Each structure stands twice: as C-alpha cells, then as structure tokens.
Chain A
Amino acid sequence: MTDFSAISRRRFLGSSAALAGATAMGGVLGAGSALAQTPLTVGFIYVGPKGDFGYNQAHAEGAAAVKAMPGVTVLEEENVPESVDVKNTMESMINFDSATLIFPTSFGYFNPHILELAPKFPNVRFQHAGGLWTPDNPANIGSYFGYIGMGQYLNGVAAGHASVTKKIGFVAAKPIPQVVNNINSFLLGARSVDPSITCQVIFTGEWSLAVKEAEATNALCDQGCDVITCHVDGPKVVCETAAGRGAFVCGYHADQTALAGDKYLTGAEWNWARVYTGMIETVQSGGTIDNFVRGGLAENFIKMSPLGPAVSDAGRAQFEATKAEIMAGGFAAYKGPLKDNTGAEVVPAGGSLIETDVAIESIGYLVEGVIGSTS
C-alpha cells in the first residue's frame, strides 16, 4: 500500500479531525511537552493471543511498529479478559512500569474499566480502540477506529466477480452494529457487481470458538456459498476450512493470504502500524492526540490485502475503480431506495449513508439480500 503512504501525518490527523466533526474536542495530554523529552513508555493490551491472524494480531503489528521507533519502550500483555483484570493490568502498567500512554485494544475495556481509571490518573493517556469517547468522558481518554466497512464493501466487489453460485457467505460472531455493517457492506459490494447475489450469514455467538466457526463455514459451503468472509477475532479457522472446501475467501482484520493460497481474493485489514506510529510521533513532538479519531482507506486506517490470482481482470478493474471512489471521500455503500431483509424501507430513494454517517454506528438491520436475523 505504498501508493497511499505519501499522505502526510498532518493530512491524516487533519482529515480525521474533520470527519469527527463537532465531537472532536481538543484533548489534553497532561504535560505533553515534558513527555517529549523523557523516554515514552507505551502499554498495549490485547484481549486474545497476539498471533491470532486477526484482531489482536493487527494491533500487535501496530505495537511492533511502535517498538521500532526511537525513544519508546513498549509493554505488551495478551489474553487480558474484559473484567477487573484489565483495570488491574492498566494500573499495574502505570504503577510498576510508569506507562503514560496505554492502548487497551478491546472494545469491552471501555465501560466501566477505562472510564473508572482515567480520572484516577489524569497524567496518563488512555487510547481506546473502538470509537466510544463522547465529550462528557474524561479528556485523558482517546478513542479511535477505522471505517473497515468500506474494506468489506471492496471484499464484496471481489466476491461478486468470483461467485458462480451467486451466493456468498459470512461467518459472524455477534449481531452488533460493527458486525452488521460489515455484513451489509459485503453484500452491497457484491450487489454492485450483480444485484441478484445473496449473502448467507451465520452467527457463532462468540468472538473465538474454533469448532463452531468450522461448522458454520461448512454449513455455508453446504448451502452453495462459494465466497466466504468472516468477522470473528481469529479468521484462521474460517479461511482454512473454506479454502479446504474449495470456496474463495475474503480476509478480515489481517492478511490471510498464507492460509488460503490461491483461494484468497483480498481482505479488509487494519493498518494500525500507520495509525500508532502517527500517534506516538504526535506525542513525541509535544502535540496532543485528538480525543476522537476515525479514518478509512484514504487516511490509512485500513488497507486491502493484495488481490489474489483468482480475481479476474474485470474484477480487478472494478475493485480498483471502487477503491479510487472510496479514496476520494464521501462514498456511500448504502444507497436508496434500500430495504432491510424484512422488507421495510431503510434508506429512501435518493438518500444514502456515506461511510462516516453516524447512523451506521448504531445500525441494527440486515439489508435485503442478507439471509439471516440479528436476534
């Protein structure tokens, strides 16, 4: 993805601040300039193992990039549950290792754990992955996330060209807005190629449950789905099982080319290395990180895996064209008239939801063409 790295850090911070709109209040990082002179100790906390080919690995790759920067000490802890454990871990990093910047990377760490700890340590900055910060939360909490639904839309474009059966499949953990948006985006991307395509979704109910993920993938293949993607913490099992059944695979979280080989079309990946090194640079140069930072493909928050050999020339062309449209900004996956899969109209004719629309953050419906239910 070297072709986008030319965008400067200023552009990325500036545009994300603009995207965040009114909610982007200037954060205060206590004694920011003092921090710049002393070595910076940064803590990363993961909810699962660092090498899961997925969510945690994506963050750990970001931490590895930070580790390579001068003047930074990186602390890491994996397999930290979203219980009192994470509170203890954060406090332990602060008390014993003098960490002043902490990245608790799991969604469930925010409420109540980060919210309770932040007022106790006003000089420590808590950067939470998940985009949950609101202006009435403490100012030493920051929140960041990426518009990865756009990545799933591009996955869908690749899938739409590869699918012969016109049925594609999605293995999902839980029906929360982020997952639901990914499912919708995947189908809408595929439908931009062929409006007759349907997407079957199976919820496993857990973020990480190997046997159930394999069973879900097999059930999708049995129903004739020939392109599979997923939103679980570690996509390794889904990728390998789907490729083993002869289905094409679109990746998620991290690059899974090594797992699915020729069956791998592309994948929606986080680009935390870019985001984290940018944030550390800001702190080192005495600046402050905005409390609310979001970005998409253009801002280098997410990236796409290199296209696999199975993507046709036509697929490649549409993929690149759509990507260019997304990079230009203001792209809408949801375009009216659009119904949900119970037949109710969700986007009226002429209306649309662009990638940054806040309505997407609480989306609860599956669009028409998705076979499945959120409850």
Chain B
Amino acid sequence: MDPVDIGLWGVPLAILAGAIRVSTPFLFVSLGECLTERSGRINLGLEGTLIFGAMSGYAVAYETGSPFLGVGAAALAGVVFGLVHGWICKFKGVNDIAIGIALMLLGTGLAFFFGKPYIQPVAPKLPSISLGGWSDVPQVQSALQVNVLFLVGAILAVFLWWMFRSTRVGLVIRVVGDSTDAARAMGLNADRVRLLSTAAGGAFAGVAGAYLSLYYPGSWNEGISSGQGLMAVALVIFARWNPINCFWAALLFGGAGALGPALQSVGVTQGYYLFFAAPYVLTLGLLIATSSPERAMQGAPAELSITK
C-alpha cells in the first residue's frame, strides 16, 4: 500500500486517530472512577491500579500467549486494589483521598517491583478491527484501526448512563452516594455498595492499563503511564459525574494530546512544549468556563468528601 501525500489533512486526521488511540485509557479510568464516585467515594489511587494493570496484563499475556487473558488478569488485579481501597475506607475516620494516594504509591511500587523481568520480552498484542476499509487512503485506514476495548468502552459509557438512570442497581448506587442515612433507612448496606463500586471501578482502571501495555503504545516499561490514571480522575469531575460526558471528555483529551506531534509533522514546529500542554490548558479553560460558584458541584454525589 503506497502512502498518499495528505499534507495538512494530517492534522485533523491525527486528532481523530489520536482521539481513538489515546483516549481509551482515559475513558476506562474515568468510567471506573465515575462509578466509584457515584457511590460516594473517591479513589485517587487509580493511577497505581492502572500501572499495576499494565504490568500484570503484559506479564500474563507474555506468559500465556493470550492478550485477552492479560486483559482479564489486569481487570482482576484492579478488582483486588479496588477491594482493598473499599475495605479500608469503611473504617471510621479514614480519609479516602489519602488512602487513594497511598494505594497509588503501593500499586506503582508493586508494578515496578514485579515488572522488571517483563521490560524486555515482547508480549502478543491485542488485535484491532479495521473500520477504514471504505477509504483508499492508507493513513485513514490506519487511523480507523479501532481496538475492541475502545468500542467496549463506548458501549460501557452508554450502559452506565442507562444503569444510573433506569435500573435498580443504578438507583441503589445513587442513593448511597447521595445520602448514607437515606440508604440506611432503605435497608441498604452503604459500605457494601461502595466496596463493590470501588472494586468495579478498579477493574476498569486495570483494563485501561492493559490497553496501554498490550495495544497502544503496546509495551511495558516504567514510563508507560504519563499520569493517565490521575488525569482521568480529574476528567470525572470535569464530566460532572455523567458517563456519556466521560466519553466525550476522554475523546477531547486524547485528541488534544495528538495535536502537538501532528502539528510538528506538518511543519508547525515552534514552541512544541506549549502544544504538548494543549490537553491540560484546554481542560483547565473549559473547567473554569463551565464552573460557577453557584453550581460548583452540580451533579456531584452529596456524600463525596470533596463536596462536603
């Protein structure tokens, strides 16, 4: 297949392709965090879960030869971290944000500790689906190589939105997140609901890590995450605890991240550090523009420690 000279079209194409390639980890972590926060807890430690997921996913994929088993292992590791967070936070007086930071450290440390032997080997990668067959342009075909996990994430966003809106499980999580007392009055065990929500959130973050190490960029090393897990937690607040918004926020962040390299590739080369900061500047700008003192925490679960 001969490359076609696409010139400046490379920029929007790169943003589109970047949005699809880079956004998936943000999408999974933010959906997981959204679920956890809707139940009234913050798990700031998903960055550690993501890194451990990346390592364990890569290791299992390498040892078994199956990238899907790797994703499963990463999800399982995420569940374990989620359960630890959820269990510790049920004790009175324990600060969930601080525990999150501690688990971020522990997850990162354990991932680096056990990950040393897996920096060198090459594990099998997750396959992708070609959605660009209609185009003759190889760059478009390449941009539309979509990983299954991206599609799963998109469906998951819609599913969670529907779940919160229309199902009993969703209602239970929302009630627990909005008022422990009301939940108790309804005979709900708030701690258990939060434990399970945090565990599920951890599983999502683990999958996000597996996407990094098994698909894009597709390699395990100690610099694999550049803070995706931490940023995704921020995106949830930005997305106002709405799973559909999480999807758009992740796409926006991924696309903005592709801007810097794409601009350089078409010759806009001055001040690339500033272009690389585009996702952060854009998010901060939108955050400031959409916030106001009156509705600062609109949509926020009332039990969340940051809203109190």
Direct contact of A and B (CB under 8 A): yes
Given that A258-B122, A371-B267, A372-B269 are contacting pairs, would A222 and B13 also be in contact in the complex, using a CB cutoff of 8 Å? yes
Nearest chain A CB to B126 CB, angstrom units: 12
Given that A212-B226, A245-B142 are contacting pairs, would A222 and B14 also be in contact in the complex, using a CB cutoff of 8 Å? yes
Do the beta carbons of A234 and B217 come within 8 Å of each other?
no
Do the beta carbons of A202 and B3 come within 8 Å of each other?
no
Which residues of chain A come closer than 8 Å to B18, judged between CB atoms? 215, 218
Chain B residue at minimum C-beta to C-beta distance from A223 = B265
Do the beta carbons of B264 and A372 come within 8 Å of each other?
yes
CB within 8 Å of A: which B235-269 residues: 257-258, 260-262, 264-267, 269
Tell me, yes or no, whether A203 is within 8 Å of chain B by CB: yes
Which of B60-68, B196-204, B270-278, B287-295 is the contact stretch?
Answer: B270-278
Tell me, yes or no, whether A49 is within 8 Å of chain B by CB: yes
Q: Once bound together, how far apart are the Cα atoms of A211 and B254, in whole Å?
A: 11
Which residues of chain B come closer than 8 Å to A223, judged between CB atoms? 6, 10, 265-266
Nearest chain A CB to B150 CB, angstrom units: 15
Do the beta carbons of A246 and B226 come within 8 Å of each other?
no
Q: Mark B214-232, 1 if CB is under 8 A from A, else 0.
A: 0011110111101010000
Tell me, yes or no, whether A241 is within 8 Å of chain B by CB: yes
Which residues of chain A come closer than 8 Å to B261, judged between CB atoms? 202, 204, 212, 215-216, 218-219
Q: Mark A201-242, 1 if CB is under 8 A from B, else 0.
A: 111110011111111101111111010000000101100110
Nearest chain B CB to A190 CB, angstrom units: 17
Which residues of chain A come closer than 8 Å to B222, judged between CB atoms? 48-49, 79
Tell me, yes or no, whether A259 is within 8 Å of chain B by CB: yes
Do the beta carbons of B265 and A241 come within 8 Å of each other?
no
Q: Mark A363-375, 1 if CB is under 8 A from B, else 0.
A: 0000000011101
Chain B residue at minimum C-beta to C-beta distance from A224 = B3
CB within 8 Å of B: which A166-214 residues: 200-205, 208-214
CB within 8 Å of A: which B12-67 residues: 13-14, 17-18, 21-22
Tell me, yes or no, whether B120 is within 8 Å of chain A by CB: yes
Cβ contact of B223, chosen from A210, A220, A373, cutoff 8 A: A210
Q: Once bound together, how far apart are the Cα atoms of A218 and B142, in whole Å?
A: 9
Do the beta carbons of A224 and B219 come within 8 Å of each other?
no
Chain B residue at minimum C-beta to C-beta distance from A54 = B221
Which residues of chain B come closer than 8 Å to A53, judged between CB atoms? 120
Do the beta carbons of A200 and B265 come within 8 Å of each other?
yes
Q: Once bound together, how far apart are the Cα atoms of A375 and B275, in whole Å?
A: 12
Cβ contact of A219, chosen from B4, B228, B262, B269, cutoff 8 A: B262
Q: Mark B124-158, 1 if CB is under 8 A from A, else 0.
A: 00000000000000010011000000000000000
Chain A residue at minimum C-beta to C-beta distance from B14 = A219
Q: Mark A37-53, 1 if CB is under 8 A from B, else 0.
A: 00000000000110111
Q: Once bound together, how far apart are the Cα atoms of A341 and B224, in whole Å?
A: 34
CB within 8 Å of B: which A329-373 residues: 371-373
Tell me, yes or no, whether A7 is within 8 Å of chain B by CB: no
Nearest chain A CB to B255 CB, angstrom units: 11
Cβ contact of B265, chosen from A48, A79, A202, A240, cutoff 8 A: A202
Interface residue range, chain A: 35 or more
Given that A52-B119, A241-B217, A245-B142 are contacting pairs, would A218 and B14 also be in contact in the complex, using a CB cutoff of 8 Å? yes
Which residues of chain A come closer than 8 Å to B265, judged between CB atoms? 200, 202, 216, 219-220, 222-223
Tell me, yes or no, whether A164 is within 8 Å of chain B by CB: yes
Do the beta carbons of B120 and A203 come within 8 Å of each other?
no
Do the beta carbons of B122 and A49 come within 8 Å of each other?
no
Tell me, yes or no, whether A165 is within 8 Å of chain B by CB: yes
Nearest chain A CB to B270 CB, angstrom units: 6
Nearest chain A CB to B47 CB, angstrom units: 14
Given that A203-B272, A215-B258, A223-B266 are contacting pairs, would A165 and B3 also be in contact in the complex, using a CB cutoff of 8 Å? yes
Given that A165-B3, A224-B5 are contacting pairs, would A211 and B264 also be in contact in the complex, using a CB cutoff of 8 Å? no
Tell me, yes or no, whether B165 is within 8 Å of chain A by CB: no
Which residues of chain A come closer than 8 Å to B6, judged between CB atoms? 222-224
Nearest chain B CB to A364 CB, angstrom units: 14
Do the beta carbons of A209 and B273 come within 8 Å of each other?
no
Q: Mark A8-31, 1 if CB is under 8 A from B, else 0.
A: 000000000000000000000000
Nearest chain A CB to B269 CB, angstrom units: 4
Cβ contact of A49, chosen from B3, B221, B266, B272, cutoff 8 A: B221
Tell me, yes or no, whether B94 is within 8 Å of chain A by CB: no
Do the beta carbons of A49 and B10 come within 8 Å of each other?
no
Do the beta carbons of B1 and A246 come within 8 Å of each other?
yes
Which residues of chain A come closer than 8 Å to B262, judged between CB atoms? 215, 219, 222
Given that A213-B217, A241-B217 are contacting pairs, would A221 and B223 also be in contact in the complex, using a CB cutoff of 8 Å? no
Q: Once bound together, how far apart are the Cα atoms of A51 and B223, in whole Å?
A: 13
Nearest chain B CB to A327 CB, angstrom units: 31
Given that A209-B223, A245-B142, A371-B267 are contacting pairs, would A218 and B21 also be in contact in the complex, using a CB cutoff of 8 Å? yes
Given that A203-B264, A216-B261 are contacting pairs, would A164 and B2 also be in contact in the complex, using a CB cutoff of 8 Å? yes
Cβ contact of A210, chosen from B5, B122, B224, B273, cutoff 8 A: B224
Given that A214-B217, A215-B261, A234-B221 are contacting pairs, would A226 and B14 also be in contact in the complex, using a CB cutoff of 8 Å? no
Which residues of chain A come closer than 8 Å to B142, judged between CB atoms? 218, 221-222, 245
Nearest chain B CB to A56 CB, angstrom units: 10
Q: Which residues of B contact A (CB under 8 A)?
A: 1-6, 10, 13-14, 17-18, 21-22, 116, 119-120, 122, 139, 142-143, 212, 216-219, 221-224, 226, 228, 257-258, 260-262, 264-267, 269-273, 276
18 contacts between A and B (CB under 8 A): A51-B116, A51-B119, A52-B221, A209-B223, A210-B224, A214-B218, A215-B21, A216-B261, A219-B10, A219-B14, A222-B17, A222-B143, A224-B5, A226-B3, A237-B221, A240-B219, A241-B217, A372-B269
Top-3 shortest CB links A-B: A373-B269, A214-B217, A219-B265
A-B contacts besides A203-B264, A221-B142, 12 pairs, CB < 8 Å? A48-B222, A205-B273, A208-B221, A210-B219, A212-B261, A215-B14, A215-B257, A215-B258, A223-B6, A237-B219, A372-B264, A372-B267
